[in-house]
Amino acid sequence: MDAQTLIATTWAMIADGKGLLAMDESNPTCNKRFASLGIPQTEKARCTWRELIVTTPGLGECISGVILYDEKIRQQKKDGTSFVKAISDAGIIAGIKVDTGAKDLAGHPGEKITEGLDGLRERLAEYFQMGARFANWRAMITIGDDIPSRACIEANAQALARYAALCQEAGLVPIVEPEVLMEGEHTLQRCSEVTEEVLRNVFRQLYAQRVMLRA
């Protein structure tokens, strides 16, 4: 792990007046959107759409980083230039979504666990070689009757921390995203309480997994 490079990448990602562009929708999600507009649900169509985005003039003036999906990071422009190079040439940092989605948490109806740790070390090494310099992993916490459970919070917190440690080992800056969903009839106070509990657990696990937090 090159700590100074990770720190430099982090600061570049949070540059004043810029933000991150999420282009990490899965193929099924992208296809669903295309279907509603009568666009062919093919890799070629998805590639054309993504090229339109990454070649937008002046994109680097307001975007510091782009989160890609596995298919996207492997694709090329019509002229043969990889998307990662096109992004880099625009002064933007390429990132990659590495979780494999939220699945039902066994024994806990209504709750999810984000998966994707199996084989992650190898996938991160490959993505780094492709030019990615940061990664993203999203955990979903639902508020409802008697949920979230401690088991759900702790399982997702540990997964986030293990992912973050593996990212730093591979030279990628990890975006740690524990998302407490807004949907439901709970109060603002309840949302605040759950968010605090989730964040405390996430940071506890980050420390336990020896994730570097300074920047």
What confidence tens digit (pLDDT) does each residue in 155-182 have? 999 999 999 999 999 999 999 999 999 8
Going by C-alpha positions, the residue among 208, 212, 175, 173 that lies closest to residue 99 is 175
pTM over 0.85: yes
Strands (E), the chain: 19-22, 63-68, 93-97, 102-104, 112-114, 134-141, 173-180
pLDDT at 1: 65
Fold held by 98-215: TIM Barrel (3.20.20)
Give domain limits for the chain: 1-97, 98-215
pLDDT single digits (tens) 24-50: 888 888 889 999 989 999 988 998 988
pLDDT tops 80 at residue 62 = yes
pLDDT single digits (tens) 134-155: 999 999 999 999 999 999 999 9
Q: Are 157 and 166 in contact (CB under 8 A)?
A: no
What DSSP letter does each residue of 118-145 carry, written as one string?
Answer: TTHHHHHHHHHHHT--EEEEEEEE--BT
